[in-house]
Amino acid sequence: MSLARKYVGFYPVKNVLLKGSKSTNYEKVLCFLLLATTLVAKAQNTEKETLQLKQAGFDFGKIQQGRPVTHVFEVTNTGKEPMRLENVQASCGCTTPEWSPEPIKPGGTATIKVGYNSASEGPFNKSITIFYNGNQTRVISVSGNVYKAAATSAPANSSIALLKQITQ
């Protein structure tokens, strides 16, 4: 056995940096299997996306604190088989998604209504994950900036009281 071989576990691995080394059939088969596995894994990741979104995110802009807001996302099934939205999960409890569990026919559309409770002041960016067709996911998001509401209503206008007295 040459000094160019090293043993890793039960598999001999040739040091490819040495000049003049010859690869064995075993090593060629092992390399082929590794390449084939990589190609199959890549092919599985390139499945055609069957869930089409009109928009992947929505910005509410400025929202007054304490005023809940909602937005409706539209989902289209671009596949050839019915699609089912199995779960729609928000990243926190201040965001609430609503959707129908009914299957979406090929070419059909459905909606996901996302509500945000603007109790906390400041900017926000919340993600909502859509689980569909067994093992597929898509992420949508809502964002905005919550400003603090005025503590009281506008101050009393003494001029109005004076005008009321004059007109009576």
Task: Give ∠ CA 114-120-122 in degrees, rounded to 5.
Answer: 95
**Predicted local confidence at residue 26, as pLDDT:** 62
State the residue range of the domain holding 26: 5-45
Q: Say if residue 139 is in the same domain as residue 105.
A: yes
Question: Are 75 and 121 members of one domain?
Answer: yes
15-60: per-residue pLDDT in tens?
A: 444 445 455 666 666 556 656 665 555 544 445 788 999 999 999 9
Residue with tokens 């689980």: 131
Q: Is residue 154 part of a domain?
A: no
* Predicted local confidence at residue 166, as pLDDT: 72
Domain count for the chain: 2
Same domain, yes or no: 55 and 69 = yes
Query: Which is higher by pLDDT, 167 or 4?
Result: 167
Same domain, 39 and 90: no
How far from chain centre, in Å, is Cα 23? Answer: 46
Residue 166 resides in a domain: no
| pLDDT (mean) for 110-126 | 95
Same structural domain for residues 41 and 61? Answer: no
Q: What pTM did the predictor assign?
A: 0.63
Residue 61 sits in the same domain as residue 110: yes
Q: Is the pLDDT of residue 2 over 90?
A: no
- pLDDT tens for 70-113 read 999 999 999 999 999 999 999 999 999 999 999 999 999 999 99
CA 103 to chain centre: 21
Edge-to-edge strands, sheet with 95-99: 51-53, 69-77, 109-116, 95-99
Cβ atoms 123, 143 nearer than 8 A: yes
The residues near 134 (Cβ < 8 Å, ≥ 6 apart) are 86
**Is residue 127 pLDDT above 90, yes or no?**
yes
Please tell me whether residues 23 and 60 are part of one structural domain. Answer: no
The domain that holds 92 is classified in CATH as 2.60.40.10
Q: What is the distance between the alpha carbons of residues 45 and 38, in angstroms, rounded to a whole number? A: 11
Tokens representing residue 17 in the block: 């940096």
> Under the phi-then-psi rule, with left for phi > 0, alpha for psi from -120 to 50, and beta for the rest, what region is 137?
beta
Specify the amino acid at residue 78: T
Residue 155 has pLDDT above 90, yes or no: no
